[in-house]
Structure 1
Amino acid sequence: MRFAPDTEEALVFVVVLCNTDPSASRSGTDELATIDQLKALLDRYPFTGRIDHDEAELRDVQRTRALLRHVWTLDRDDAAEAVNKMLRDAKALPYLVRHDSLDWHMHATEPSSPLAERLRVEAALALMDVIRMNEMDRLRVCEADDCAGLLLDLSRNGLKRFCSVRCGNRMNMIAFRERRADR
């Protein structure tokens, strides 16, 4: 599956952000509990514009994480409604921009807008493409028994089931042991 580069990048970030939630994180803890953890995330996935590095911003990003995690699991019609609300709430006005090493891509909020609002709008723009292309089935929750990690299936055949090789290997080993025990 091929989405526009900025769409794919935004969707990958949504997965990474949402998988910092205690229900999905590898550590089983909130991996976005401190301002330093948010800074580390933004060091790996840089965002241009205003970043306050304060508790209010952290709480807003955590609320955004919960919202995006919820939208990820909605059906197409409900996701469209949620995306429209995110864009309305931000009074988003799409425009083309080219900065840093990135070619032309869309933004829909001002660089001075709060970080969490920019995250929501960028995710909403990416989700618009997913909805318009009728590819909501590419947005999944890991099928491993004890994992709630989100995954973005960009494979050609659309059969990705696990958020990581680790989850896939663990579930394959469980299935192997069950088959062996049945013999």
Structure 2
Amino acid sequence: MLFAPDTEEALEFAAALANTEAGASRSGADELATVDQLAAILTEIRYSGRIDHDEAELAQVRQARAQIRSVWTLDRDEAVTVVNRMLREARALPYLTRHDGSDWHIHATAPDAPLAERIRVEAALALIDVIRMNETARLRVCAADDCTGLFVDLSRNGSKRFCTVRCGNRMNMIAFRARRAGG
């Protein structure tokens, strides 16, 4: 295992959230444009604690999405600066908890803290593990020519290149057709 289960879960959620942005999403459109779209994301990936289901919360989560997306491609030292700022701004105070069938894991904000703050802090805690293990190279942008999707490469050998099988298949088909046309 590369990372703790809660770290992997937080990284996967961070990538999924970042990939709701226009251009990175499967539809090409912003998939976090409405409160209902945010609610749909939260049914797929459960978040405990306070959820307001309003426009202000949506705006804050969209800001968190932008911050997470920006830190994803930073080098290790630059990422430390951003992660520390994310934790400092939230006045994060780590503690162990278990809830909703999950075993002991770390939280660093109160359950009644705003959703966007909890998202940022959980992403920051996961990024701490990535940075400490010197595995920032596992935070990647899709290698497909027309995709800006983010993903965390959790494969054993660290060779994953595409955010989805769809992107990988598309690029393999393009390469196959180019080889066939050239030969």
What's the TM-score once normalised by structure 2's chain length?
A: 0.98
Task: Give the aligned partner of residue 119 of structure 1.
Answer: 119
Q: Matched residues in 2 for 1:54 and 1:99: separation?
A: 25
In the alignment, residue 104 of structure 1 is paired with which amino acid?
W
Q: Matched residues in 2 for 1:113 and 1:89: separation?
A: 12
Task: Give the aligned partner of residue 133 of structure 1.
Answer: 133
Secondary structure at the residue paired with 1:121?
helix
In the alignment, residue 91 of structure 1 is paired with which amino acid?
R
Q: Alpha-carbon deviation of 1:157?
A: 0.8
Q: Matched residues in 2 for 1:22 and 1:100: separation?
A: 32
**1:124-163 → structure 2 map (5 Å cutoff):** 124-163=124-163
Task: Give the aligned partner of residue 90 of structure 1.
Answer: 90
Q: Matched residues in 1 for 2:177 and 2:43: separation?
A: 41
Q: Alpha-carbon deviation of 1:148?
A: 0.4
1:10-63 CA distance string (max 9 Å, x none): 001011101110120010101010000000100111111111100000000001
Unaligned runs of 5+ in 1: none
Q: Matched residues in 1 for 2:85 and 2:75: separation?
A: 15
Task: Give the aligned partner of residue 42 of structure 1.
Answer: 42
Q: Alpha-carbon deviation of 1:98?
A: 1.2
Task: Give the aligned partner of residue 78 of structure 2.
Answer: 78
Q: Give identity over the alignment, percent.
A: 70
Q: Alpha-carbon deviation of 1:99?
A: 1.1
Secondary structure at the residue paired with 2:147?
coil
Q: Alpha-carbon deviation of 1:180?
A: 1.2
Q: Alpha-carbon deviation of 1:101?
A: 0.2
Q: Matched residues in 1 for 2:135 and 2:123: separation?
A: 15
Q: Alpha-carbon deviation of 1:68?
A: 0.2
Secondary structure at the residue paired with 2:33?
coil
Q: Matched residues in 2 for 1:110 and 1:102: separation?
A: 17
Secondary structure at the residue paired with 1:106?
strand
Please tell me the root mean square deviation across aligned C-alpha atoms, in Å: 0.7
Q: Matched residues in 2 for 1:73 and 1:18: separation?
A: 12
Q: Matched residues in 1 for 2:157 and 2:56: separation?
A: 42
Aligned pair 1:166/2:169, yes or no?
no
Secondary structure at the residue paired with 2:151?
strand
Secondary structure at the residue paired with 1:122?
helix
Q: Matched residues in 1 for 2:75 and 2:64: separation?
A: 19
Q: Alpha-carbon deviation of 1:94?
A: 0.3
Task: Give the aligned partner of residue 61 of structure 1.
Answer: 61
Aligned pair 1:5/2:5, yes or no?
yes
Secondary structure at the residue paired with 2:166?
helix
What's the TM-score once normalised by structure 1's chain length?
A: 0.98
Q: Matched residues in 1 for 2:119 and 2:22: separation?
A: 20
Q: Alpha-carbon deviation of 1:69?
A: 0.4
Displacement over 2 Å in runs of 4+: none
In the alignment, residue 148 of structure 1 is paired with which amino acid?
T
Q: Matched residues in 2 for 1:172 and 1:102: separation?
A: 38
